[in-house]
Amino acid sequence: IDPPTLVRAENGLIKLAVADVNDGHLHRFGYQIGGTLVRFLALKTERGSIGTAFDACQICGDYGYVQEGGNIVCLNCAADIHIPTIGQGGGCNPIPLASRVEGEHLVIAVGDLAKGVASFGGSETIEVTDLVCGMKLDVADASEPVTYQGQTYYFCKMPNCAAAFKQHPEKYAR
């Protein structure tokens, strides 16, 4: 499966463009809380609302989910999850995550994400590559992230890398 898209928060809120998750496909995101990468899902349901949930369930844990056709499938037990039930608890459904739409943004409070930390065991890390120097590092060890055109980028702790990216992001961004 694809790794989650790493996101950052401003003033305790994660804001995702509704247009980016409004296509009926499963989108996986990750946010680092302490040493734990908390993964969460967002997708437009058949009812037209955007469902959000942790990429984990109370039965199977943090194995996660993938989309296969019109259903979401648990990667541990292969249970089919009907898309309109995303955001509702029970069975092998992903654990619900509170969110709201404000204008053109899907908003998730970091405090609500923090409620799911225990579901992820604190052992998962995610490797990122500093686009300036090429160094591979754990996202938890990266310097402050930089957002460019809706994508978050991470850099080593050498001050020149983030500064070079900020000065000419179009040179490095993919």
Output the pLDDT for position 113. 92
Query: Which residues lie below 8 Å from residue 49, measured CB to CB, with a gap of 6+?
Result: none
Query: Which residues lie below 8 Å from residue 103, measured CB to CB, with a gap of 6+?
Result: none
Output the pLDDT for position 69. 84
Q: Which portions of the chain are predicted below pLDDT 50?
A: none
- Distance between CA atoms of residues 151 and 99, nearest Å: 20
Output the pLDDT for position 125. 61
Output the pLDDT for position 30. 94
Assigned architecture for domain 5-120: 3-layer Sandwich (2.102)
Output the pLDDT for position 158. 83
- Across-strand partners of 116? none
Give domain limits for the chain. Answer: 5-120, 127-172
Output the pLDDT for position 48. 78
Query: Which residues lie below 8 Å from residue 69, measured CB to CB, with a gap of 6+?
Result: none
User: In this predicted model, what pLDDT tens digit does every residue of 66-102 receive, in sequence order?
Assistant: 999 888 999 988 888 888 888 788 888 999 999 999 9
